[in-house]
Structure 1
Amino acid sequence: MWPLSTRAQVALAQSHSMRARAVVTSAAYGVLEVPISGGSVEIDATSKARRSATLQADPRWWPRSPKDLLSPYGSVCQVDYGIVLPGGGTEWVPLMIGYLDETSRERPVTSSGHIAVKLVDAAVHVAEDRLDVPAQTITNATTVSEIARLVRETLGGWVELRDLTGSSAIAAVIVIERERWDAVEKLADSLGGEAFFDPVGRLVVRPQPTLNQNPVWTVRTGNGGNLLSVKDKLSREQVYNRVVASGQRTDGVPAVYATATDTTSPAYYGGPFGKKPRFYTSELLTTVAQCQTTADSLLQRVRGIATQVEVELLVNPALDAGDVITVADPEAGETRHIIDKLSIPLAPDATQSITTRSDEMPAET
């Protein structure tokens, strides 16, 4: 969750106004703020591009050439959400820095018409930069430094790295055939972590979020509540209660492996749910310890998905995928959830939707 001042938190708990801004940087125009009338930013921890957005801009900004400001040929856009504070002033919350991916319009243009501008985060730019020829990880380089190198080779050395793993593990020497971002994700997996770009464009490498983290926000019904509706879903789809992580060898030597088993959730291994293992293989896993770390982290992703909650609530633009929140509902009681997906609308009359996962079953009614 992006840090908020006390005044901003007070404003979010009551009726307040909002603003949105989009600042575009291009080679031809430099830096310019483009007025937007709506749209939304989507954040999805299960997608390669964690952040994406669609902005509604005035038709007069329709690009006439590839060098124009809103042409999807290199322009970069920063999107911010403004919380209008009681007593005056605006606190701006960064939502994403994205590359323009598509600009579209419908004609004839009416008085209320707009052009739609789609943004994607830098992970897509890195994924598009596939290797011309196979390359090898650098001998004795750390896993984190190799993640940063692969990203900076595409985006430039200015990319700030925020390493929350504290790991000094040496990366396995492997050949990267072609897919640059896939290699980044596999390197992060080998640490039991994840790699993504945060709202201000920093490359973040961090451990997988777990329900053991402290909740950063509470959504609730009733007087003073911010929860408008709840949709619960219980499903076996994408639920696994054991992960087997193994290395990959081509020389006939048996590969190392390790398992992580769910023994505590309602879908625990060998219980009424049954046995449902998930297998993960990577050439980056060369020791049992690496396999165990990876298996443990992957289990965190898939063990608590049996209970999904979709909530619609008043907007909190500071929330992010991976945040732990508390959902307080009279029928289900209080449950703790990890945010998988959320939408942040850029219009004052819109509400926010969040999809979460949890291994805390709702109370029976």
Structure 2
Amino acid sequence: MSDTALAIVKSGFDMRIRAESWLGGVLLADDIPITDGSESRDRSLAIPEQITLSVPRTDGGTSWEPIEPDHPLAAYGQMLRIDYGVDLPGHTEWINRGWFLITGSEADGETISVTATGLLQLIQEAELTAPFQPSSTDTLVSVIRALVEPALTVSIDSQLTDRSVPLSIQWDTDRLGAVTEVLNAWPADAHVTPDGYLSVEPVGDGTTPVLSLTDGVGGTVVRWQASASRDGAYNAVVAQGEDGFGNQIQGVVYDQEPGSPLRYGGTFSPLPVPYKFSSPLLTTITQCRDAAATTLKRLRRTAARKFTVTLVPHPGLMTGDIVSVTGAGLTNALCVIETLSLPYSPQEMTLTVRVL
């Protein structure tokens, strides 16, 4: 976002929503009339992105009821590109929110209700029709590409180190589950970019905040998320694999983060409370330890302290972004956005942020 748009967003603005519908690379409609809707993102879900839209049944003589299979709002492969507009003096600045696969459209009186999800829906639906077993020349990169492309183009971060894949591994049906297993063993993270690519990159949080949020400023409200549970709380991770001689190997990583309420040796438990998983993709102790450390980072996302933040809608924010939060007893605390709900009509935006 430009500095001008960012300044306007912080104080309130006139929003616009632009929705395009595409099918097989062909533009079906470039200005779908949106009367209401919302977008939600949750990093803990297999398919993090969900949107709902309300569209008039007819508008300007155009019917938006998806009767034909090639209608812009039908669910036969139609994808929506959503842009969020901020009115500036003399023009509108558009922020791309991404591509979404239409999963359903239903007429209710004079309104068409549309639901759509992130593009990983394509991978989740496409169960393997035959067992998938890597060849002797396959690597982590080639396996990810074989599982995902051509539904999504894969972009691999140059910081990741590729390696060969053992021939003993086989996946029977769950394509997205196979992708997740490769990512966990690498270790790596993946998300769909606003341009529709699957970006595979190292696991970790950034350090530079994209926005400062202060309780009581500009309509922002910061509250502790009032929930606590021992379910899903661990202070150690055990990752198991198998070396080239068939011997079982493992790597163990303990939560030793200063200030962590689950820290090993702290008050949470005098004993290790381990999360265990195994994968034939792990063939060395180093790989097991790296995978265990990455898994521990992911587990902290659910167990860490969290805030709920409500604010004026900010169309530049995405899950995974770092923000600085002042409120609820903290000052300029670095936090990462874990979930968000962005309205497509004048309402408050809601974030769930995790304290780093």
Q: TM-score scaled to structure 2, two decimals?
A: 0.89
Q: Report the Cα distance in structure 2 between the residues aligned to 1:201 and 1:291, rounded to whole angstroms.
A: 31
Whether the 8 Å CA contact 2:21–2:28 is kept in 1: the answer is yes
- Alignment map for 1:34-73 (pairs within 5 Å): 34-60=32-58, 61-73=64-76
Whether the 8 Å CA contact 1:239–1:306 is kept in 2: the answer is no
Q: Report the Cα distance in structure 2 between the residues aligned to 1:194 and 1:242, rounded to whole angstroms.
A: 20
> Does 1:135 find its partner at 2:138?
no
- Alignment map for 1:16-165 (pairs within 5 Å): 16-26=13-23, 30-33=27-30, 34-60=32-58, 61-85=64-88, 87-106=89-108, 109=109, 113-153=110-150, 155=151, 159=153, 161-163=155-157, 165=159
The DSSP-based 3-state class of the residue aligned with 1:175 is: coil
Runs of at least 5 residues in structure 1 that lack an aligned partner in the other structure: 360-365
Superposed CA RMSD in Å reads 2.3
User: What is aligned with 2:336?
Assistant: 338
- Alignment map for 1:1-365 (pairs within 5 Å): 4-26=1-23, 30-33=27-30, 34-60=32-58, 61-85=64-88, 87-106=89-108, 109=109, 113-153=110-150, 155=151, 159=153, 161-163=155-157, 165-173=159-167, 174-210=169-205, 213-223=207-217, 225-235=218-228, 236-247=230-241, 253-263=246-256, 264=258, 265-274=260-269, 275-303=272-300, 305-329=303-327, 331-347=329-345, 349-358=346-355
- Structure 1 position 68, deviation (Å): 2.1
Whether the 8 Å CA contact 1:191–1:207 is kept in 2: the answer is no
Q: Deviations over 1:85-115 (max 9, x none)?
A: 2x22222111121111011232xx2xxx421
Q: Report the Cα distance in structure 1 between the residues aligned to 2:191 and 2:24, rounded to whole angstroms.
A: 26
The DSSP-based 3-state class of the residue aligned with 1:7 is: helix
Q: Deviations over 1:137-159 (max 9, x none)?
A: 23333313321221114x16xx2
The DSSP-based 3-state class of the residue aligned with 1:256 is: strand
Q: Report the Cα distance in structure 2 between the residues aligned to 1:253 and 1:166, rounded to whole angstroms.
A: 27
Whether the 8 Å CA contact 1:164–1:204 is kept in 2: the answer is no
The DSSP-based 3-state class of the residue aligned with 1:36 is: coil
Question: Given the superposition, is the C-alpha separation of residues 287 and 160 from structure 1 closer, same or farther in structure 2, using an over 3 Å criterion?
Answer: closer
Amino acid at match of 1:195: A
The DSSP-based 3-state class of the residue aligned with 2:52 is: strand
- Structure 1 position 303, deviation (Å): 2.7
Q: Report the Cα distance in structure 2 between the residues aligned to 1:28 and 1:205, rounded to whole angstroms.
A: 24
Runs of at least 5 residues in structure 2 that lack an aligned partner in the other structure: 59-63
- Structure 1 position 27, deviation (Å): 5.9
Whether the 8 Å CA contact 1:171–1:187 is kept in 2: the answer is no
Q: Identity over aligned residues, as a percent? A: 27
Q: Report the Cα distance in structure 2 between the residues aligned to 1:152 and 1:183, rounded to whole angstroms.
A: 14
Whether the 8 Å CA contact 2:339–2:353 is kept in 1: the answer is yes
Question: Given the superposition, is the C-alpha separation of residues 358 and 239 from structure 1 closer, same or farther in structure 2, using an over 3 Å criterion?
Answer: farther
Amino acid at match of 1:101: T
Question: Given the superposition, is the C-alpha separation of residues 268 and 19 from structure 1 closer, same or farther in structure 2, using an over 3 Å criterion?
Answer: same
Q: Report the Cα distance in structure 2 between the residues aligned to 1:179 and 1:88, rounded to whole angstroms.
A: 50
Q: TM-score scaled to structure 1, two decimals?
A: 0.87
Whether the 8 Å CA contact 2:213–2:324 is kept in 1: the answer is yes
Aligned length: 343
Q: Report the Cα distance in structure 1 between the residues aligned to 2:353 and 2:265, rounded to whole angstroms.
A: 25
Compare 159-168 and 54-63 and name the one that shifted more.
Answer: 159-168
Question: Given the superposition, is the C-alpha separation of residues 63 and 31 from structure 1 closer, same or farther in structure 2, using an over 3 Å criterion?
Answer: closer
Question: Given the superposition, is the C-alpha separation of residues 145 and 180 from structure 1 closer, same or farther in structure 2, using an over 3 Å criterion?
Answer: same
Q: Deviations over 1:49-98 (max 9, x none)?
A: 1212111111131112333221111111111111222x222221111211
Amino acid at match of 2:163: A
Q: Report the Cα distance in structure 2 between the residues aligned to 1:182 and 1:248, rounded to whole angstroms.
A: 20
Question: Given the superposition, is the C-alpha separation of residues 324 and 62 from structure 1 closer, same or farther in structure 2, using an over 3 Å criterion?
Answer: same
